[in-house]
Structure 1
Amino acid sequence: MAATIPADDLQQTPTRLHSLDALRGFDMVWIMGLEPIVIELAKLTHWRVFETMAVQLVHPDWNGFHFYDLIFPLFLFMAGVSVPFSVGRELEKGTSRNKLLWRVVRRGLILVIFGIVYNNGLNIKPIEEIRFGSVLGRIGLAYMCAAIIYLYAKEKWQIFWFWFFIVAYWLILEFASAPGFAAGDLTMEGNFASYFDRCFLPGKLYLGIHDPEGLFSTIPAISSGLLGILTGITLKKTGLTQMKKVAYMSIIGVVFLLLAQLWNLDFPINKNLWSSSFVLNVGGYSLLLMSLFYYVIDVLGHKKWAFFFKIIGMNSILIYMSKKFIDWPYTNEAFFNWLFQLVGDPYNLVIAALTYLMIKWLFLYLMYQKKIFLRV
């Protein structure tokens, strides 16, 4: 039976958000193995629900938004939410800001290095063959900048910097472009962010002329991290009841979604550019998901159902990096080839995808039991 939190406990500062671990696991499970299950079911059944979901699990070519575009920025948002609970707790203990600054910078740089390793492996390559832009690299840089602002700026100034980065980014792309293109050109070849990366980002770009995790488009990603930090501050406040926190997140989430659609008319929602309208769009969805998970898990106390996601969320970087060092498909075939043969075509592909996800989860469960977590 779910436990109801007493009214007196509403004013206590939470030490850990169970909902944050669960939401992080929900986010990671899609790229961990849930995506191919949905896609195979769509191919086999042709049911509209699976076909609709399968479309949402593919990135748009350029402008537009699908659910799959939310996975990356949601993770960055949650990295921000954790800052007031981790860095903030150390500040409350009396740890100096300069000491915490080093920790924040170190963590950010480690994530950048992890991202380079994820892209290129451990083999030594010429610089021109190395891709420096990465998912973990963007999370590391955006988290680092947002956390530094948190360390040295009051909440009202954090709000200022949130808007400053996305407005400034919009104005730059609105009035600048690559040489030979009209001001405000937002094509892959003509936009200023891609041109900046072609000039200053070393190594190779993911698409040759553009990198979706480039350097210049990391500027608005800082706002995604700051939104998470501001959400974490709200969740940590002792002067607000839990239901008010849920209401604030939900209302602001809806407002952001509406503003994103308005901004989309001039500055299209675009993950590749991490456009300002994209920041508001994914920020709105992130707030709504955070409010839902927080309400169900931390307010109502329904925690058991989220255990599956919690196991993933508590070791998300480990399972993400493992893809480069563990041949998961081979492990899947080695243990369950007999099952695939027993099921036969065409549903063996669905079973294969399910067992692929199960093996990864069991690996994380073992790490959880042994209390082994990859911390950065």
Structure 2
Amino acid sequence: MTTSRTSFSGAWRWLAPLCLLLAVSLPLAAQDRTAVIGARAALQPWSDPLEALGTLRADESVTLSATVTELVAELNFRDGEAVEAGRMLIRLEDGEEQAQLRAAQALRDERRSAVERLTQLQSRNMAPRADVEDSQARLRQVEAEIQGLEARLTNYRLRAPFDGVVGFRNISVGSLVTPGTELVTLDKLDVMKLDFSVPELYLAILEPGLPLSARSVAFPDELFEGEVSSIGSRIDPVSRSVTIRAEIDNPELRLRPGMLMEVILQRSPRQAVVVPEAALIPSGDRQYVLVIDESDENRVERREVRVGERRIGQAEILEGLEPDELIVSHGVQRAREGDRVQLLGIADDETSIREILEAHRDEGDA
């Protein structure tokens, strides 16, 4: 009861000056009509918000590690640098392996020449076919060894597997690394994954593609838009919640993995007729609005409506009102059904109530 009295008192302190301004803002000749401010019933996107907390992850993330024991020979990146896929980031000393590769390549050339000579001799019946086949087998053997050496050499050159941003460099040229040593991190940040959980109660209405918005304490004045990309296949038996993964575009790379985000999931997106919440007139368990008939000198009709979801300052109308109909948004306490009202103005996104009242007050002063 205390909360209701406080809310009513606060609302009356706001409405009292408004009613006074409405009363004095008209010329005396027009004060036989009730002064009101109108609003259009607007058809606009609407949804039922569901709030949650989520954690950001990189779209792709990897930690490049050593697979051999060797010294670092070259570092080809700076802390926090954006790199392209395929770029060599780290080269390890590979002199011994390069020497083995050159020796194998020389042996391949020798055996290839032997195969060619024996093939020519065999074509003139001057060499047994078995010798040709043996030389071809030895050539294939050395070619396989070369492929193995070339494959091992890739372990000495660590390349970026995708476009991304490298982390801090914690090694130096000449450092000895061993298998498993973490050398550098790489994150793809142009798209971020946002993981959050919602109660299993909402599982039936969740689907990929649902829009959402998210905020971070690091950027309190900015809203990041995204959509649900996938829904977890399991329900947590302890929290009775399901994990949702969404994707958020991050072209300026301001968001970072690990950030906490306040998520508002837009459930059941739809087009709805929306009116200012101040235009509603409660009567028991019913709601009414005052519709202004512009074709009948602004005569007021009291009409029952069915209200859906509400937001701060707005209400969804399910039945009883059509888009673009004009209703009384301020001054509903003084207007009565059948009255012809004096329309001071129509409040919308471009014209505020304060601007309408100030304009009429200036006209009265003039």
Check whether TM > 0.5. Answer: no
TM-score, normalising length: structure 2: 0.22
Instruction: Give the structure with higher Rg (CA).
Output: 2
Higher strand fraction: Structure 1 or Structure 2? 2
Higher helix fraction: Structure 1 or Structure 2? 1
TM-score, normalising length: structure 1: 0.22
